[in-house]
A and B are shown apart, each in its own frame.
Chain A
Amino acid sequence: DTGVSQDPRHKITKRGQNVTFRCDPISEHNRLYWYRQTLGQGPEFLTYFQNEAQLEKSRLLSDRFSAERPKGSFSTLEIQRTEQGDSAMYLCASSFSGLPGQYFGPGTRLTVT
């Protein structure tokens, strides 16, 4: 299967703990995106990488959130000092420059108790 994969699929954590999610994009895609989706809403853009460079960050991405894509392949999204409002589905997507479609992974569902 050469689609976008995300790990873990589900994460339950206590408020104040740090969590890290991983995304493996489609191998030939040079662009990688992180989104957050809450119930009844569409995905909301968080940040975007072209190769290893983080080119854009949404104002939704507070200083507790950090994302990396060290070698231009997989990416990690870390949330420090989690809050209950961070509970959501975190989606990763990848695409190839110049093509409009983004291909999404299955998401990581985060529950902060």
Chain B
Amino acid sequence: DQQVKQNSPSLSVQEGRISILNCDYTNSMFDYFLWYKKYPAEGPTFLISISSIKDKNEDGRFTVFLNKSAKHLSLHIVPSQPGDSAVYFCAARANNDMRFGAGTRLTVKP
């Protein structure tokens, strides 16, 4: 049962432009949503999170938006940099159970 879905396996953007990564979920019991970034040969790195009681959280170039009615969240990266090129995983937590999406590979071209 895929409770967290990232429908775009890849995304390519130009350096300096905005990157928008999307994620959909089905379980209304999720109380926290997180984004992780993963480089090859490394484990996922925690990037940013948002509580289910909020609709926006911002940290520098990274902003996460949550639309509970649509069961949708997105990660905005502005401006995108070549070093942002990685696989981004969306994750959602209910109690101690964390579910991950399949990931979106972001490529930022110089």
Contacts and interface: CB of A to CB of B under 8 A. Distances in A.
A42 B100 contact: yes
A21 interface: no
A5 to B, nearest CB: 10
A103 B47 CA distance: 10
Interface in B79-101: 89, 91, 93, 96-101
Contacts of A45: 97-99
A105 B12 CA distance: 27
Contacts of A44: 100
A102 B97 CA distance: 12
Contact of A41 (B41, B93, B102): B102
B43 A100 contact: no
A42 B23 CA distance: 13
Interface string A1-35: 00010000000000000000000000000010100
Interface size class of B (residues with CB under 8 A): 20 to 34
A91 B96 contact: no
B51 to A, nearest CB: 8
A84 B49 CA distance: 36
Interface string B31-46: 0101010000111111
Contacts of A41: 102-103
Contact of B43 (A31, A56, A91): A91
Interface in B1-55: 4, 9, 32, 34, 36, 41-46, 49, 51
A105 B43 contact: yes
A104 B96 contact: no
A101 B49 contact: yes
Contact of A100 (B34, B45, B89, B103): B34
A1 B4 CA distance: 32
Contact of B42 (A31, A33, A48, A106): A106
Nearest to B99: A45
Nearest to A92: B43
A102 B98 contact: yes
7 contacts: A40-B102, A43-B100, A93-B43, A100-B49, A100-B51, A104-B43, A107-B43
